Chains A and B, each alone.
Chain A
Amino acid sequence: MAYNGVMPSARSRAMVREARHLLFTVAPGAIWIVIFLVLPGAYLMGVAFMTNGPYGLPEMPLSLASFERLAGFGFLGWSPGNLYTLLRSLWQTAVSTGLVVLVAYPIAYYITTCREKWRPIMLLLVVVPSWTNQVIRTFGWMNLLAPGTPLSGLAEGLGLIAPNMGLYPSNFAVTLGLVYNFLPFMVLPLYAAFEKLDTAQVEAAQDLFASPVRAFWHAVFPQTLPGLLAGIVLVAIPAFGMYVIPELLGGGKGMMLGNLVATQFSGGANWPLGAAGAILMLIATFIGLFAMRRIGKRLGGGEEVVI
């Protein structure tokens, strides 16, 4: 402790002072977050348990109707629309996170093999596009993938898409947009992991295992795992709740959970249903976080994963 030298008689006074110090430093921020995030969040959860009014606003009495609606039950019996949306979100998240890993892994490694003075510049080059607004980045892809553009022409020539159609709007465009948007979030933690790589261990593994694949699997991969998991958390969670990219690039076929939730508020349809969707999103997020922590603890050899 920092206050070893304090006289016993003064200890209680010091403790009060310390407590007050804690209050002064931590309280403003804690109160801010409680008032402007925890309370709103709690209110939104409350809304999910209210009845949907005639024009989409929450009303009393409390009910579970919006959760039933979310599960697909309505006036018309059960329908799979929301389930499709949920599955599409999970699928898009999984595919785009996987692709991001496939691209980021070699990139992060490559940067560590370059000369030290180049590395900050290389990292900067990877990160800079994400400093522009995500609406602008997505708009760039709208331009690139629209019908009649060279990329669309190429895809058409290869028979990948129907004639006259562009690559956008489509689910493919959404995946691409997600990969583009989140690539830097994977490169950074992976780079940090590669930089700390214990080369002695790798060299030992190279002697021990005949094939480089096995050497990689046993010596390199486990060491980069914490970075990889941190990257997955940083990519998968926001990707799952993404709103802008499917809205702009999906063109009505690519609705994800974020769009379902947003439409209930920005398209004036059903606040309680939107709130219930938000709860579903939160649950999925926390399950994902929890799972990552568990995996990280089990595989990471006790090393704590960031977040």
Chain B
Amino acid sequence: MPNNKKILALSLGGLLLAGSVQAQENKLYLFNWTEYMDPEIIEAFEARYDVEVVQNYFNSLPEMFAKLNAGGVSQYDIIVPSNYFVPRLIQTGLVQKLDKSKLENLDNIMAQFQDPAFDPGAEYTVPYQWGTTGIVYNTETFPEAPKSWSLMFDPKANPEHPFALMGDGQVSMGGACAYLGHGYDCTDMNAWKEAARLLIETKGRETFSGFTDGTPALQQLARGVTHVGLSYNGDYLFFKEEDPDSFATLDFMIPDEGAEMWVDSMLIPSEAPNPDMAHKFIDFILEAEVGAQLSNYNYYASPNAAATPYLDEVLTKPPVQPSEADMERLRFTPSLEGDALQTFQQLWSEVQSR
């Protein structure tokens, strides 16, 4: 019997050890949105630096933030969040400052992305791609669809077809705010309350299908589960290219009341196992041709000025580059903190649980 116990103690010790020495030198852990990276870029990077890139994916920013808090902060080398989650990542100490001496290609970034409001001085972030969140709808169901959020929020505009809102509360709430005339980027308490009431009402309608993240919303639309949904311009084009038949009757639209524009950036978690390789990766993405290849693959606009000559033509027109009129209506999702964040989360959890 004592022998058994020794074996047990040994195996237990082994387990603990196995858990602790997982991250290895020659690996790079990338935590990215789904369908957001060209596999060939990964292969090229692996070949150049003789590393293995391990990719993990998230579908929404709250999910990404939760994963970092649940131990991910020491397990990923690069994360690719959107603008409005950057300040809270910095304030919670989940990310580290970039060592700009290791980033030779920083100058390739377009001037308007060099000093973003969400990260003054760009101390933590390097832009990855930018895009918009708009309404995708079925043109057969809605041949004369208004360019408006009413497709979701007005039962008269869409009386009998299933629709989905976005799983990320801030985007759904922003849409409701915009529809009510308070602007997509509202943060006023009363406007929020009104928006939350609208969302609860909307949820109660028979045709409400659920809260869906941006990428799966497109699959639902393609399969006819919903007829209106919220998604991203690049994902829309990407899947349209993959499955032209199903997407022939789907269109992307920026509602006139205003919608979201976002910038996704690359950041390094504060306890990243391999920060050196992470810098190499960021610099690699900043290379002119790699940056162009990335955008050509996933149909998002590039913040990389040097990449412009190599970009496909489709990337120079809507919906990738919004029309000037649309551009004026696009807003960043506000970055929340303190009481505003707490209030928002209470409102949102109320919306979810009703």
Contact present between A and B (CB < 8 A): yes
Note all chain B residues with C-beta closer than 8 A to A267: 60, 62-63, 66
Question: B66 to A265, Cβ gap below 8 A?
Answer: yes
Q: How close is A30's CB to chain B, nearest CB, in angstroms? A: 12
Q: Which of B6-53 contact A (CB under 8 A)?
A: 8
Question: Within the assembled complex, what's the spacing in Å between the Cα atoms of A169 and B349?
Answer: 19
Nearest-CB distance from B143 to chain A (Å)? 16
Q: Chain A contacts of B345 at CB under 8 A? A: 56, 269-270
For residues 8 through 55 of chain A, which have their beta carbon under 8 Å from a beta carbon of chain B? 21, 24-25, 28, 52, 54-55
A163 close to B354 (CB less than 8 A): no
Give residues of chain B (247-279) contacting chain A, Cβ–Cβ below 8 Å. none
Q: Are A260 and B162 in contact (CB under 8 A)?
A: no
Q: With both chains docked as a complex, state the minimum distance between the C-beta of B294 and any C-beta of chain A, in angstroms.
A: 27
A72 to B94, CA, bound (A): 31
Complex contacts, A24 vs chain B, CB 8 Å: 1-2, 4-5
Complex: A111 Cα to B210 Cα, angstroms: 41
Q: Is the CB of B227 within 8 A of A56?
A: no
A253 with B62: in contact, given A54-B91, A54-B337 (CB under 8 Å)?
Answer: no
State in angstroms the CA–CA spacing of A69 and B353 once bound together: 13
Contact B210 A253 (CB under 8 A): yes
CB contacts (< 8 Å) of A199 on chain B: these are none
Contact of A251 among B62, B209, B339 (CB under 8 A): B209
Our count of residue pairs bridging A and B at CB distance below 8 angstroms stands at 112
Per-residue CB contact flags for chain B residues 324-354 toward chain A (1 = under 8 Å, else 0) read 0000000000000111011101110111111
Residues of B within 8 A of A263 (CB): 349, 352
Cβ-based interface call for B245 (8 A): no
Say whether A55 contacts B353, CB under 8 Å. no
| Chain B CB within 8 A of A286 CB | no
Structural contact, A84 and B343, CB atoms closer than 8 A: no
Report whether A147 and B349 are in contact in the complex, using a CB–CB cutoff of 8 Å.
no
Q: B65, B209, B351: which has the most chain A beta carbons within 10 Å?
A: B209
In the complex, how many residues of chain B place their beta carbon closer than 8 angstroms to a beta carbon of chain A?
48
Chain A: minimal CB distance from B175 (Å) = 15
Task: Give chain A residues whose Cβ lies under 8 Å from the Cβ of B350.
Answer: 76, 79, 81
- Determine which of B88, B162, B227 lies in contact with A55 in the assembled complex, contact meaning CB atoms within 8 Å: B88
* B352/A163 in contact, CB under 8 A: no
CB distance from A247 to the nearest CB of B (A): 10
Nearest residue in B to A29 (C-beta to C-beta)?
B8
The residues in A between 65 and 104 inclusive whose CB is less than 8 angstroms from any CB of B are: 69, 74-76, 79-82, 84-85
CB of B56 closer than 8 Å to a CB of A: no
Partner of A163, one of B160, B211, B224: B160
A54 to B345, CA, bound (A): 11
Taking residues whose C-beta sits less than 8 angstroms from the other chain, chain A's interface range is 35 or more
Contact A54 B66 (CB under 8 A): no
Partner of B161 from A75, A146, A164, A260 at Cβ < 8 Å: A164
CB-nearest residue of chain B to A80:
B354
Closest beta carbon of chain A to B129's beta carbon, Å: 23
State A32–B318 Cα separation when bound (angstroms): 59
Residues of A near B69 (CB, < 8 A) are: 56-57, 268
B280 touches A (CB below 8 Å): no
B207 CB-CB contact with A under 8 Å = yes
Name the CB-closest residue of A to B346. A74
Count chain B CB atoms within 10 A of each CB in A24, A80, A253 and give the residue with the most. A253
B352 touches A255 (CB 8 A): yes
Which residues of chain B are near A25, meaning CB under 8 Å?
A: 1
Q: Which residue of A lies closest to B94 (CB)?
A: A55
Contact indicator A252/B161 (Cβ below 8 Å): no
Q: Across the two chains, which residue of chain B brings its CB closest to A266?
A: B66
**How long is the Cα–Cα vector from A280 to B24 in the complex, in angstroms?**
41
Distance from A159 Cβ to chain B, minimum over Cβ atoms (Å): 13
| Complex-state Cα separation, A263 to B350, whole angstroms | 13
Q: Which residue of B lies closest to A32 (CB)?
A: B12
Complex CA–CA separation, A263 to B60 (angstroms): 13
Find the A residue at minimum CB distance from B351: A81
Chain B residues near A148 (CB, 8 Å)?
224
| Chain B hits for A153, CB < 8 A | none
Q: In whole angstroms, what is the CA distance A28 to B12 when docked?
A: 10
* Residues 157-171 of B contacting A (Cβ, < 8 Å): 160-162, 165
Contact across chains for B92 and A55 when beta carbons are under 8 A apart? yes
How long is the Cα–Cα vector from A69 to B65 in the complex, in angstroms? Answer: 22
List, in ascending order, chain A residues with CB within 8 A of B1's CB.
21, 24-25
B62 touches A268 (CB 8 A): yes
Q: How far is the CA of A211 from the CA of B67 in the complex (A)?
A: 62
> Which residues on A sit within 8 Å (CB–CB) of B343?
75-76
Contact code string B147-182 (vs A, CB < 8 Å = 1, else 0): 000000000000011100100000000000000000
Contacts A80-B354, A268-B66 aside, 5 further interface pairs with beta carbons under 8 A come to: A25-B1, A57-B92, A165-B162, A263-B349, A267-B63
Q: B residues touching A (Cβ–Cβ < 8 Å)?
A: 1-2, 4-5, 8, 60, 62-67, 69-70, 88, 91-92, 160-162, 165, 193, 203, 206-211, 223-225, 227, 337-339, 341-343, 345-347, 349-354
Q: List 30 A-B contacts (CB under 8 A).
A: A28-B8, A54-B91, A57-B92, A69-B346, A75-B342, A75-B343, A75-B346, A76-B193, A76-B347, A81-B352, A82-B349, A146-B225, A148-B224, A164-B161, A164-B162, A165-B207, A251-B209, A252-B165, A252-B209, A252-B210, A252-B352, A253-B208, A260-B353, A263-B352, A266-B63, A267-B62, A267-B63, A267-B66, A269-B62, A269-B66
> Measuring CB to CB, which residues of chain A are less than 8 angstroms from any residue of chain B?
21, 24-25, 28, 52, 54-57, 69, 74-76, 79-82, 84-85, 146-148, 162-166, 169, 250-253, 255, 260, 263, 265-270
